[in-house]
Amino acid sequence: MDPKSIKNDAETSMVKALEYLKSELRGIRTGRASPALVEYVKVDYYGSMTDLKSLAMISVPEATQIVITPFDPQSLGEIRRALEASDLGLNPRVDGKAIRVSIPPLSGERRQQLVGHAKKMGEEAKVSMRNVRRDANKHADGLKNVKAVNYSEDVIEGLKEDIQTMLKKHEGEVDVVVAAKSKEILEV
């Protein structure tokens, strides 16, 4: 490996961690109904844990309701059980060939719990990014042993500084994303 590829790999991994955080935060409840709230609920579909979005059409006919229409009507019961078992506090009810989920208003206490959960997810993303930094620094240290090219200490230290700067930038982005989600959750 060379310094440029180490840096590019670290950047790519940190961006992926940030994108994963964003997708996970979309599933946290706010006061409004959103398909993202239930898309990633895992349903036991013929022995395989499958995302709900792969098994059903999810729509939002009004601001406080989600309608889930399974592609396979036989899976209605499993989808309902998965929604009840999820940590979303939802009460699904079967309505013919669809499931209707009313989104009740959040209590102040529940809003605080959700903000705490969002912050925890942000910290997990930061830990993931720090692990990327650790691995990139190990690769940078490994450049000392490359016989074909003799990398100077300055090059290796410069690479480590660039990786640290990159980490700080991405941690700042995590803070911004979590703060925005927290604000959204706390809006009444």
CB-based contact 185:118 (threshold 8 Å) = yes
pLDDT reported for residue 1? 79
* pLDDT per residue as tens, the chain (188 positions): 788 999 999 999 999 999 999 988 887 777 777 888 888 889 998 889 999 999 999 999 988 899 999 999 899 999 999 988 887 778 898 988 999 998 877 788 888 988 999 999 999 999 999 999 999 999 999 888 877 788 888 988 999 999 999 999 999 999 999 999 999 888 86
pLDDT reported for residue 188? 63
pLDDT reported for residue 41? 87
**Cα–Cα distance for residue pair 57/11, rounded to 1 Å:** 35
CB-based contact 156:142 (threshold 8 Å) = no
**Cα–Cα distance for residue pair 29/89, rounded to 1 Å:** 9
pLDDT reported for residue 63? 80
pLDDT reported for residue 151? 83
Phi/psi region, residue 43 (left: phi>0; alpha: psi -120 to 50; beta: rest), is beta
